[in-house]
Amino acid sequence: MNLSTLISSVNRGRGNKQEIVNEENPLATTSERDDSGHKFKLLTFFSLYIAQSVPMSLFSTLLPVLMREDNFSLTSIGLLQCIKLPWIIKFLWAPLVDRNTSNLKTYKKWIFCSEAVYAFLILAIALLNLKTDFLLILVLIVLSFVASGTQDIATDALTTLSFNRKERSRGNSMQSMGSFAGSLVGGGLLLVLYKYIGWTSTLLGLSVFVLIMLIPLYQYKDKSFTSHSGRVPIGMKDLLSFFRQRRIGSQLTFLILFNSGLIGTLAMLKPWLVDLHYPMAHIGLMFSVFGSLCGCIGSYFSGNIIRRWGRGKAATLYAICILFTGLYFAGLSHFGLLSTINLYIGIFFLWGSYGLATVLIYTIAMDYVRVGREGTDFTLQIVALHLSSMLVAVGSGKLADHLGYTTLFVVESLFALGSLLYVWFYFKKMHRA
């Protein structure tokens, strides 16, 4: 064998080895690429949900404080409740979104346009004076919430279609984490920042933040994405036909009842802490910062628990957590075990359970959407949930006012027990079906 033949043989050997490596690496590379793509998908949806949540949390938390400091009447402050109206009635234009979306590109278009309007309106509000332009600011905030509500409809539909049934809970974890993180940033961190940079700079930065959160969506691609929205005729009559579906009554009962053992405690926790003589700064730390962080943690773990254990087992576990939380607060109030550490433990249970339950509710609500009506059906269910939560919150205030906090926490525990029993019945019935 001469030298050239030897070199040729060695090169062929190297070539064969390289071919083997090339045959093996694509599998590993594909796996890594899939994992990276899934993480980027989760980041994309987290970004969209936190973008809508931060401004809402800031306006809801900061405005009442500023208005009271500037000697606005309580009547004017009460008008702030109107800013949440678009999120209660957004189901009215949800069919419009479903009717005009048919692929990933059209969903992106709706979200981009809605968020651009959202950011522009926040920018306009930043340039106004709260004292002299109060009514105009209020109108612009309402319009901005219309824009964010529209973005939410499109994003919820996109979430439903982008994750299969098994992976959907992870997408809903991002949805819930985005909401809690928005409360943490908008209702906590930005309030601190506001003291140093003021109204205009805070809102200017907020409008830029909303636009920056669109960058992941701009880069997001999903070749497997399919949608029948825009291809299925849909109109206002579909709002009513949703409630005529088989087993929809059981589904709505589950959605309304499941969190009822938490909502009253969440609504009355701040007044209770005030009555326990905690300063407002400490209450803000306990509720808006620590509580929201616990909600994020609960939401993160909830998606994985649902994915591994299934919806029925996860619902039973979460219902038990909610029942334990109600009993814990009842015990604290009845026996006077009101040390700060005990209250922090209770807030951890309360918000952690709320985070767990919220992801489950979103996941199951997305299971009950009709083809081509994803945004409409999910929005209807969440609006029903929000309306029932408002009623529970109002009722809890009257109950605590007349019969005391201990009675409220006991009643909340009874709601939680009823929810646990219903969960067993509900998922057993679903299994049979």
Q: What's the distance, CA 202 to chain centroid?
A: 23
Distance CA 47, CA 158 (A): 14
Distance CA 323, CA 251 (A): 20
pLDDT score of 31: 53
Averaged confidence pLDDT in the chain: 87
Tell me the pLDDT tens digit for each residue of 95-143: 999 999 888 999 999 999 999 999 999 999 999 988 888 889 989 999 9
Tell me the pLDDT tens digit for each residue of 172-221: 999 999 999 999 998 888 888 888 999 999 999 999 999 999 999 999 98
Q: For residue 310, name the pLDDT band (cuts at 50, 70, 90).
A: very high
| Cβ pair 242, 377 in contact under 8 A | yes
SS3 letters across the chain: CCHHHHHHHHHHHHHHHHHHHHHHHHHHHHHHHHHHHHHHHHHHHHHHHHHHHHHHHHHHHHHHHHHHHCCCCHHHHHHHHHHHHHHHHHHHCHHHHHHCCCCHHHHHHHHHHHHHHHHHHHHHHHCCCCCCCHHHHHHHHHHHHHHHHHHHHHHHHHHHHHCCCCCHHHHHHHHHHHHHHHHHHHHHHHHHHHHHHHHHHHHHHHHHHHHHCCHHHHHCCCCCCCCCCCCCCCCCHHHHHHHHCCCHHHHHHHHHHHCHHHHHHHHHHHHHHHHCCCCHHHHHHHHHHHHHHHHHHHHHHHHHHHHHHCHHHHHHHHHHHHHHHHHHHHHHHHHCCCCHHHHHHHHHHHHHHHHHHHHHHHHHHHHCCCCCCHHHHHHHHHHHHHHHHHHHHHHHHHHHHHHCHHHHHHHHHHHHHHHHHHHHHHHHHHHHC
pLDDT score of 409: 97
Cα distances (angstroms) measured from residue 136 to each of 108, 125, 148? 30, 9, 18
Output the six-digit token pair for 110.
Answer: 């709706």
Tell me the pLDDT tens digit for each residue of 375-427: 999 999 999 999 999 899 989 989 998 999 999 999 999 999 999 999 988 88
Tell me the pLDDT tens digit for each residue of 208-242: 999 999 999 999 988 878 766 666 678 788 898 99
Owner of token pair 């109060």: 134
| pTM attached to this predicted model | 0.87
Tell me the pLDDT tens digit for each residue of 324-355: 999 999 999 999 999 999 999 999 999 999 99
Residue 26 has pLDDT above 90, yes or no: no
What ranges do the domains of the chain cover? Answer: 36-235, 241-433
Owner of token pair 């979306």: 101
CATH H-level superfamily of 241-433: MFS general substrate transporter like domains (1.20.1250.20)
Distance CA 36, CA 29 (A): 10
Tell me the fold of 36-235: Growth Hormone; Chain: A; (1.20.1250)
Other C-beta atoms within 10 Å of 432: how many? 6
Same fold, 36-235 and 241-433: yes
